[in-house]
């Protein structure tokens, strides 16, 4: 009886996954392969004339290759933000986990509170203007780091809690400095959770729409998500080009998830039980 119920539950889960993920993706691919008149009907049907490559070429060449520029901006934004998050959050988590003081409960509260309190757009813009970073890529990188630091710190801290303190003591007895202890002993052990942070935050930053819209205005600083505005307006929308652009934006995070999905699950669950 249990085996049959598991089979039924597995079948239902697979069907739900197909409905939620596969069917929408297939709809995007079909619309991206249609002509403008066929795509405007928004029907789930095979295109009468396949113009997939033509649509992709049109998307890439729109407004002097603005999509290509946006891809470069998004890659730079993602790589820089994730690199800072990995190093900074790992160091913060190491200090919070290993050096317990009277201020530790307050720091833990602030880390958790930043996950709950919504970001304030206007004060953030005011701060960026004060340091002359508003509308610049470095300013947006700092915003992405600030918004992702709490989640990444919690992941790193949970994993560091499973690392025996004897390793720290042995390294210190051998004459290692705190920085050398962290980078030579602790950081290499954080590889599973590092992969999780890199993949999850890369997808989050690459797919971010609101932060570039608010904090990086202008066409030259556009990211891939903002290029969707190029193919829709108040009176006219080129659905074939819009869905082709959506397909281009979707493929990189999808490939990353397919290759690293096991590492994501392993990193999220590795600190769940302290060994």
165: domain CATH number is 1.10.3720.10
pLDDT digits (tens, 9 = 90+) for 21-46: 888 888 999 999 999 889 888 888 88
Is pLDDT above 80 for 256?
A: no
Q: If DSSP states are collapsed to H, E and C, what string results for 77-144?
A: HHHHHHHHHHHHHHHHHHHHHHCCCCCHHHHHHHHHHHHHCCCCHHHHHHHHHHCCCCCCHHHHHHHH
pLDDT of residue 268: 59
Note whether residue 10 is domain-resident: yes
Phi then psi dihedrals of residue 26, to 5 deg: -65, -35
Contact indicator for 212, 266 with CB cutoff of 8 Å:
no
Contact indicator for 202, 82 with CB cutoff of 8 Å:
yes
Contact indicator for 242, 231 with CB cutoff of 8 Å:
yes
Note whether residue 274 is domain-resident: no
pLDDT of residue 116: 84
Note whether residue 160 is domain-resident: yes
pLDDT of residue 40: 87
The number of distinct structural domains making up the chain is 1
Note whether residue 7 is domain-resident: yes
Is pLDDT above 50 for 126?
A: yes
Q: What is the chain's mean pLDDT, rounded?
A: 85
Note whether residue 275 is domain-resident: no
Neighbours of 54 (CB within 10 A): 15
Note whether residue 205 is domain-resident: yes
pLDDT digits (tens, 9 = 90+) for 192-240: 889 889 988 998 999 898 899 889 887 677 888 888 888 877 667 888 9
pLDDT of residue 192: 85
pLDDT digits (tens, 9 = 90+) for 149-196: 999 999 999 888 888 888 888 888 888 888 888 888 898 889 888 988
- pTM listed for this prediction: 0.84
Residues above pLDDT 70, as percent of the chain: 92
Given pLDDT bands bounded at 50, 70 and 90, which one contains residue 274? very low
Contact indicator for 5, 224 with CB cutoff of 8 Å:
no
Is pLDDT above 80 for 136?
A: yes
* Structural domain boundaries, residue 158: 2-269
Note whether residue 164 is domain-resident: yes
Is pLDDT above 70 for 267?
A: no
């Amino acid at each position: 009886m249990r085996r049959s119920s598991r089979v039924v539950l597995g079948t239902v889960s697979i069907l739900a996954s197909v409905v939620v993920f596969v069917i929408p993706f297939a709809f995007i691919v079909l619309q991206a392969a249609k002509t403008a008149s066929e795509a405007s009907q928004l029907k789930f049907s095979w295109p009468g004339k396949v113009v997939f490559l033509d649509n992709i070429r049109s998307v890439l060449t729109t407004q002097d290759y603005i999509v290509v520029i946006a891809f470069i901006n998004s890659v730079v934004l993602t790589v820089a933000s994730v690199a800072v998050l990995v190093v900074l959050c790992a160091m913060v988590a190491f200090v919070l986990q290993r050096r317990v003081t009277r201020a530790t409960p307050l720091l833990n509260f602030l880390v958790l509170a930043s996950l709950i309190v919504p970001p304030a757009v206007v004060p953030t813009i005011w701060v960026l203007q004060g340091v002359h970073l508003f509308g610049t890529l470095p300013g947006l990188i700092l915003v992405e780091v600030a918004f992702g630091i709490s989640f990444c710190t919690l992941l790193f801290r949970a994993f560091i809690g499973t690392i025996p303190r004897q390793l720290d003591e042995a390294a210190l007895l051998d004459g290692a400095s705190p920085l050398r202890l962290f980078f030579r002993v602790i950081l290499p052990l954080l590889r599973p959770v590092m992969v999780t942070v890199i993949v999850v935050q890369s997808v989050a930053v690459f797919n971010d729409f609101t932060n570039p819209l608010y904090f990086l205005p202008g066409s030259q600083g556009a990211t891939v998500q903002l290029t969707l505005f190029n193919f829709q307006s108040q009176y006219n929308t080129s659905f074939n080009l819009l869905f082709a652009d959506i397909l281009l934006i979707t493929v990189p995070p999808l490939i990353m998830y397919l290759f690293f999905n096991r590492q994501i699950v392993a990193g999220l669950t590795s600190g769940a039980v302290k060994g």
